[in-house]
Structure 1
């Protein structure tokens, strides 16, 4: 397991991000900025044990998604802040440096769900 964490809160704007942008924004639960908490799925703090690469698998609540691209800053922000933007569009090129793209339809995320990369 490269990274594994548990959802602890879901911001009020997360559903809008899903509907409009096909994305989930993740942050560690210790993020203090209330505006960021409003747009994010917050989760327990974990250590990124190994770089996430194309071909890895993201699992959310038991549903699996193939990683298709990783932005050049996504791993640093995931390590430092538990932050990345997961786009569910299957793109093979990240448009923004903090994005991780996966193939599939965004699952219904709930508090207590496990999010992992392997």
Structure 2
């Protein structure tokens, strides 16, 4: 089941600064300029249902297992499109606006890639 879908419209020039920390930051097109350069700018869309550990986040062709979900992820995605993706395998959500994913290499992202949250 598809719980969420958006697409990457713009890749900020400084997105790679956070790859070493295993992070990607999503933000809707209305991101403040000083933040936009660090973000993947996306369409703001609704989330269907609840995003849960065990769901799959897919970016382009690459899929990652969700390991923990911050309390504010759904609200922030639907209102601002703004969450942080952390690829560190955390089982406990430390920050409310973060979605935690398996500890994996972050695949290359490209403008036009779809971002989806799917239930197995």
TM-score range, shorter chain: over 0.9
Q: Which runs of 5+ in 1 are unaligned?
A: none
Look up the match of 1:23. 23
1: CA distance, partners of 2:5 / 2:79 = 15
Once the two structures are superposed, the pairs formed by residues 68-87 of structure 1 within 5 Å of their partners are 68-87=67-86
1: CA distance, partners of 2:115 / 2:31 = 21
Q: Which runs of 4+ in 1 moved over 2 A?
A: none
Q: Deviations over 1:43-80 (max 9, x none)?
A: 12221112111110000111111000001112211111
Q: Which runs of 5+ in 2 are unaligned?
A: none
CA RMSD after TM alignment: 1.0
SS of aligned partner of 1:39: coil
- 8 Å contact from structure 2 (residues 44, 78) kept in 1: no
Look up the match of 1:3. 4
TM-score, with structure 1 as normaliser? 0.93
Once the two structures are superposed, the pairs formed by residues 61-100 of structure 1 within 5 Å of their partners are 61-100=60-99
SS of aligned partner of 1:18: helix
SS of aligned partner of 2:52: coil
